[in-house]
Structure 1
Amino acid sequence: MSRIATLAAAFTAAVLLGSLSASAQAGFDLSPEQTGRIRVGRNAAAIAAIPAGFAFAAPGRLTVAINPSGPPLGTFATDARTIVGADPDIGHAVAEALGLDLVLVATAWADWPLGLTSGKYDAVISNVGVTEQRKEKFDFSSYRLGLHGFFVRADSGIGAIREPKDAAGLKIAVTAGTNQERILLEWSRQNVAAGLKPIEFQTFDDEAARLVALISGRADVIVQPHAQLVFIAARDRNIKRVGTLSAGWPARSDVAITTRKGSGLAAPLTLAINGLIADGSYARILARWQLAEEALPASEVNPPGLPKF
């Protein structure tokens, strides 16, 4: 086993052992009780927009699929059963606005499209990004920005990364084949064309290995989905954010509640979300999970999605 792999394995073990207490110290409530969850009232306009005779997967309930892959978006609580996080909170709020009880179903990421199409679920709330290809089969109600984060060591002298020139010559750890790598390759190309240094890419498939590379000084910056790094930074207190990157750079990229194409549920869900935005509940939900940077000004039905590449 290589030295970096050994360090990564040790790092992962330490994280697992200390995750529960560290989560509480970082300000994230991963208890099953969720006493701080934001409660909302019914939204009459959103309820009225539900198509007459709409057949919910379970009468009187909004059945939502979620992949509990990790905090702060969605994870299992300390009882190893209850699903908690920012996405579940959005689900609870939307269901309450529609006058429905929420049923969360833990689902593997690869399984949600078939389950949704077959009617097993009414919706998916699981950090699903809007793409033009997905819009051919599903409808969307946007509820969050799709962001990647630039994070550095807490003692790093790097102040901010906002545009390609800010990343020139830096050693950046990413996952090969990801959208963030594709964008940063274009940034590097632009830098070289402008006479600046290229970005030096360090690719890792494992998050622990990327973090070890950053903390050990092998990498200057780590780039991956913003929410994941927000949680890690609050938990470990040894990395900090110096910028964000739209998943659709140079355009905006939206994350959305996903529903069956033509089911008619996207409009009432969008009305419900916009009601939450208007009364401040939405902002409080995102702030509860330290994701205020991912707030949208308004929800849209089927907003522009990432293009086909």
Structure 2
Amino acid sequence: MSSARTSAAAVVLLATAAVGLSACSDPGANAAGNNNAPSPSATVAGKVFNLSPQQDRFPVTEDPAAAALVPDAVKADGKLTVAVSPNAAPLAVYASDSKTPVGNEVDIAVAVAQKLGLKADIVPTSWENWPLGVESGKYEAVISNVTVTEARKEKFDFASYRSDKLGFYAKSDSPITSISKPADVAGKKIIVGSGTNQESILLAWDAENKKAGLPPVQFQYYDDDSASTLALQSGRADLTLGPNATAAYKAANTGQTKLVGLLDGGWPLKANIAVGTKKGNGFAKAAQAALNDLIQDGTYGKILDRWGLTAEAVQHSELNPPGLPKK
């Protein structure tokens, strides 16, 4: 694995649920046991995740040009206060000490802060509390799987750093190898979270198939990850559809599932995951500059690879990119 040094014990977290998450909401919603501390273990799929408190992150050099863009109010104390929700690996989760947030979002936060000549102050918070915290100035940024929407852009500024992707996953020995269009899901038994963005997309695909005279999708809903995993492994279900990040982590950990298709989280529109900041305070521009420097020097790619998220990489950070439309 291309990652930072793992002088501390490399450990893995038992899989968190992937099927019940909305593509633009709390990454830990409906996750089974996602607040439990991980126990030392080795993966069986060849991907090792370091979830110890000692992360030995990739070295980052300050970018003076980007640092010059940081508003005085933010740089005053030399810290960048970032809200994260440690509810779902590999995005953010508590380490094996049950108190230190680690994960992709934490690594991004630390790297952005260092590029800007600041020290990251990572503040764990429940996902639903970040909007008020950012608006009030309690948090100078949120890095917590936040999808850009037009409604959110009315209150916050954004600098994108990841594509919002949904993944179709099948049992590792399934004959299904590719899902790329509505016809591919016709007649399939698919596990999806009720009321989620991914369910809406799958319903649209199913409607298109029915108009074309194709067999309907057989929708399956489960309240917990254990039940959905059993359904997939036993053959009662053919596929799951949910946020790719957590599903990819689970696949790497267990070796029991495989990715067979990716969708934009806002299908048919592109959806962006972004650093969120208070509207009009100027920090989003600095975050964008830091992210683009991290992309150019290769650190960004190493961070995503470290957490198994290379498929969600962006070529460059955008300032307030088009958001998903209001419903």
- The normalised TM-score by structure 2 is 0.86
1:281 maps onto 2:310 in alignment: no
From 54, 67, 77, the counterpart of 2:73: 54
Distance 1:255 1:180 in 2: 16
Give the deviation of 1:18 after TM superposition. Answer: 7.9
Aligned Cα root-mean-square deviation (Å): 1.7
Any conservation in 1 of the 2:92–2:103 contact (CA below 8 Å)?
yes
Q: 1:187 maps to what in 2?
A: 205
Aligned length: 293
Corresponding residue SS for 1:255: strand
Give the deviation of 1:101 after TM superposition. Answer: 0.4
Give the deviation of 1:192 after TM superposition. Answer: 1.3
- Structure-2 change in CA distance of 1:102 and 1:177 (3 Å): same
Any conservation in 1 of the 2:39–2:96 contact (CA below 8 Å)?
no
Any conservation in 1 of the 2:66–2:115 contact (CA below 8 Å)?
yes
From 259, 270, 282, the counterpart of 2:277: 259
Q: 1:238 maps to what in 2?
A: 256
Distance 1:284 1:28 in 2: 13
Q: 1:120 maps to what in 2?
A: 138
Give the deviation of 1:73 after TM superposition. Answer: 0.6
Distance 1:55 1:93 in 2: 16
Distance 1:144 1:268 in 2: 17
Corresponding residue SS for 1:54: helix
Q: 1:39 maps to what in 2?
A: 59
What percentage of residue pairs aligned between the two structures are identical?
Answer: 49
From 54, 79, 97, the counterpart of 2:97: 79
Any conservation in 2 of the 1:76–1:82 contact (CA below 8 Å)?
yes
Q: 1:202 maps to what in 2?
A: 220
Corresponding residue SS for 2:88: coil
Any conservation in 2 of the 1:23–1:30 contact (CA below 8 Å)?
no
Give the deviation of 1:196 after TM superposition. Answer: 1.5
Give the deviation of 1:22 after TM superposition. Answer: 4.2
Give the deviation of 1:54 after TM superposition. Answer: 2.2
Further displaced range: 205-214 or 245-254: 205-214
Give the deviation of 1:307 after TM superposition. Answer: 1.1
Q: 2:19 maps to what in 1?
A: none
Corresponding residue SS for 1:276: helix
Corresponding residue SS for 2:158: strand
Corresponding residue SS for 1:230: helix
- Structure-2 change in CA distance of 1:213 and 1:17 (3 Å): farther
Any conservation in 2 of the 1:141–1:256 contact (CA below 8 Å)?
yes
Q: 1:152 maps to what in 2?
A: 170
From 93, 104, 110, the counterpart of 2:111: 93
**1:245-296 C-alpha deviation (Å, 9 max, x unpaired):** 1111112110000000111000010010001111111111101111100001
- The normalised TM-score by structure 1 is 0.91
